[in-house]
Amino acid sequence: CLNRIIENELFKQDWRSRRTIQIFQYVLLKWAFALIIGLGTGLVGIFNNIAVENISGFKLLMTTKLMLEHKYYKAFAALAGCNLALAAAAAALCAYIAPAAAGSGIPEVKAYLNGVDAHSILAPSTLFVKVNGIGSIFGSILCVSAGFVVGKEGPMVHTGACIASLIGQGGSRKYHLTWRWLRYFKNDRDRRDLITCGAAAGVASAFRAPVGGVLFALEEAASWWRSALLWRTFFTTAVVAIVLRAFIQLCSTGTCGLFGEGGLIMYDVSAAKVAYSVPDILAVILLGVIGGIFGSLYNYLVDKVLRTYSIINDCPNTDLSGNYKSFQCPPNHYNDLASLFLNTNDDAIRNLLSTSTTKEFHISSLFIFFIAIYCLGVITYGIAIPSGLFIPVILAGAGYGRLIGRLFDPITKLDVGLFALLGAASFLGGTMRMTVSLCVILLELTNDLLLLPLVMLVLLISKTVGDMFNHGVYDQIVKLKGLPYMEAHAEPYMKHLVARDVVSGPLITFSGVEKVGNILHALKTTGHNGFPVIDEPPFADAPELCGLVLRSHLLVLLKGKIFSRDRVLSGDEVVHRISKFDFAKAGSGKGVKLEDLDIKDEEMDMYVDLHPITNTSPYTVVETMSLAKAAVLFRQLGLRHMCVVPKSQG
């Protein structure tokens, strides 16, 4: 079971033996780990933002200085050389150190929380490459600083999940960190809870949106949710918000570098007057419809580009509110297009969302910028660098929205900066297909509650229009990567089938006391992760389902070699000789493997008692249950295995 603990005899005995202080310690550690995840993700977010701002700032400062000296070729060479070096470093880290760090990371985290533990997606090497180019952390810094049309929210979500996974390993035998209180977290449920907190913390760190982070985890990332998890996720994002706020105060004094003060995203448009009439509503509706169409087209093009990359790659896998650039203009003049292109992505978005600046950006400049960002965003996503989708989509949407605002300026009262925000919302709704979390994230980013009704309207319209053409971008990427994903709803054809119709055979079962050779043969010839355990009580007409045993538990039991020559119960010996923690879930890519076993020929005919590691209360359904009902039950309960039994046993 993915979000539950396997209740076999070893687990029950362990819980019975725990004292009150140990249970209190377990609960306290859950909150302590949430605190650590929040602190770690917040610090990584600060480091990421400050590094990007300073690297980009010095790069653009050097370019501008050369241009002021009329050394245009040197300026171009300097800018191109810096970008090439940063891009090559980020790509090399992904290609040679952690290939799993390439891309957004959100589809992988989403698939993991749905039950797919893909290789290395949450490994420590992935974490380091994702952040700054040595991993998730450093790769993100390098590729964003290189000027790619990518964001850092995807890598930040992946980073938060990696930090949570690292903490949730429950200790390490390799480094002799195997304290008893850490071992309690070596199970699927606790680990996925921590990773959910990490994903929420990543969004909170990327956008300074703690509530939006919680809703993102609830709406998009997590497949199963509990009220207790809501509290811990909210606590984690609150810690992130406190860390970010503390460093904002620190950086305002100039201690974060020459460009460090602007490194934290905030697009405050609350000063704009929000008053709208019927023509404004009609314009907003049109904005949402077109945004939904462009968003679905964006998803379609991203899918095609990613499929192309998978073929060619070795591994498929001057206003006060603006930051305008003069770019060789006369004094007191500026180049509007350079103010968008020759800037960091965050500053470009600030310029587009700036209010009371109706004519600061020419219509032709907005059109060129929109087309360029739209195409570059499609082409860039999928190359071997850590890359997020939020910022490119917001950039393209804000450019599109401001362009529509300029066109409708004679008949509308809405500020063009607000049109840019609504355009960003329409693109986000058309690509991501989220509503509540996106709405809250945008409100936390812009600090404008008065625009809430229009943002809600645009998101609903763009999502509805986009759903008419294809799925959300993350769902498409999950499918393209070949990661199994179980939807929350049943497909229509399932209503015409029953559970019996999809049961595959031949059925492989074990007896409560089974021969070692039979178990080893089943493990070698199948890839099943769970096997029914069948017992035949005396005078019974048919065998009875005793429970379910996991493949990983069988491997540990065989490695322990608690065998007997006679077919007798030896459960007590198993309980005393093997600790419950030996059967706990191992970290990513770890655990006992089939090739680790050293079973001699004379041991093949010996017997092993499976009762201590058998979950005697597996979820079962009768064979006549509707497949649609069984599928929904499977998804909602977060199951990995479901036993289908004959109706006579029901």
- Encode pLDDT of 613-638 as tens digits: 889 889 999 999 999 999 999 988 88
Paired tokens of 86: 């940063």
Say if CB 172 and CB 183 are below 8 A apart. no
Q: What is the pLDDT of residue 178?
A: 60
The pLDDT score that the predictor gives to residue 343 is 81
Residues 6+ apart with CB under 8 A from 69: none
Q: How confident is the model at residue 359 (pLDDT cuts 50, 70, 90)?
A: confident
Calculate the average pLDDT of the chain: 83
CB–CB of 52/141 below 8 Å?
yes
- Asked whether 440 and 267 are in contact (CB, 8 A), the reply is no
pLDDT tens, 254-288? 777 665 555 555 666 766 677 788 888 999 999 99
| Helix pair angle (416-432, 278-312), 10° resolution | 50
pLDDT band at 458, cuts 50/70/90? very high
Residue 124's pLDDT is: 62
What is the pLDDT at residue 564?
85
Q: Which DSSP symbol is given to 335? A: B
Q: State the Cα–Cα distance between residues 641 and 630, nearest whole angstrom.
A: 11
Contact 112, 194 (CB under 8 A): no
Q: How is 12-54 classified by DSSP, letter by letter?
A: HHHHHH--HHHHHHHHHHHHHHHHHHHHHHHHHHHHHHHHHHH
State the pLDDT confidence band at 650, using cuts at 50, 70 and 90.
very low
Each residue's pLDDT tens digit, 135-160: 455 666 777 777 788 888 888 998 99
Bridge pairing between strands 607-609 and 544-550: unpaired
Give the pLDDT band (50/70/90) at residue 134: very low
Highest mean pLDDT among 139-143, 247-251, 545-549: 545-549
What is the rounded distance in angstroms from the CA atom of residue 369 to the CA atom of residue 385?
Answer: 23
Cis amide prior to 506 (ω within 30 degrees): yes
Q: State the fold for domain 50-260.
A: Clc chloride channel (1.10.3080)
Q: How are strands ordered across the β-sheet holding 510-511?
A: 510-511, 530-535, 544-550
pTM for the complete prediction? 0.87
pLDDT of residue 320: 41
Poorest-confidence range of 10-19, 374-383, 455-464?
Answer: 10-19
SS3 breakdown of the chain: % helix, strand, coil, rounded to 5? 60, 5, 35
Query: In this structure, what token pair is assigned to residue 132?
Result: 């700054």
How confident is the model over 475-489, as a mean pLDDT?
88
Helix (H) or strand (E) holding 211: helix 210-216
Region 315-325 average pLDDT: 46
How much is the pLDDT for 581? 64
Contact (Cβ atoms closer than 8 angstroms) between residue 48 and residue 141 = yes
Residue 131 neighbours by CB distance under 10 Å: 30
Share of residues in the chain with pLDDT > 70 (%): 82
- Per-residue pLDDT, averaged over 442-463, amounts to 91
Predicted confidence at residue 255, as pLDDT, reads 76
The domain at 278-480 falls in which architecture?
Answer: Orthogonal Bundle (1.10)
Contact 31, 190 (CB under 8 A): no
Q: Tokens 């960091």 sit at which residue?
A: 344
Give strand pairing partners of 130.
Answer: 136
Most confident of 134-143, 271-280, 483-492, 574-583: 483-492
Q: Name which of 119, 130, 195 is nearest 156 in CA terms.
A: 130
Mean pLDDT of 557-578: 76
Confidence of residue 77 (pLDDT cuts 50, 70, 90): very high
CA distance 357 to 375: 26
Residue 565 pLDDT exceeds 90: no
Nearest to 323 by CA among 349, 297, 359, 293: 349
Return residue ranges of the chain for CATH 1.10.3080.10: 50-260, 278-480
pLDDT band of 319, cuts 50, 70, 90:
very low
Taking phi over 0 as left and psi of -120 to 50 as alpha, with beta for the rest, 292 belongs to alpha
Q: What is the mean pLDDT of residues 241-249?
A: 90
The structure tokens listed for 456 are: 């809600």
Please give the DSSP secondary-structure letter assigned to residue 485: -
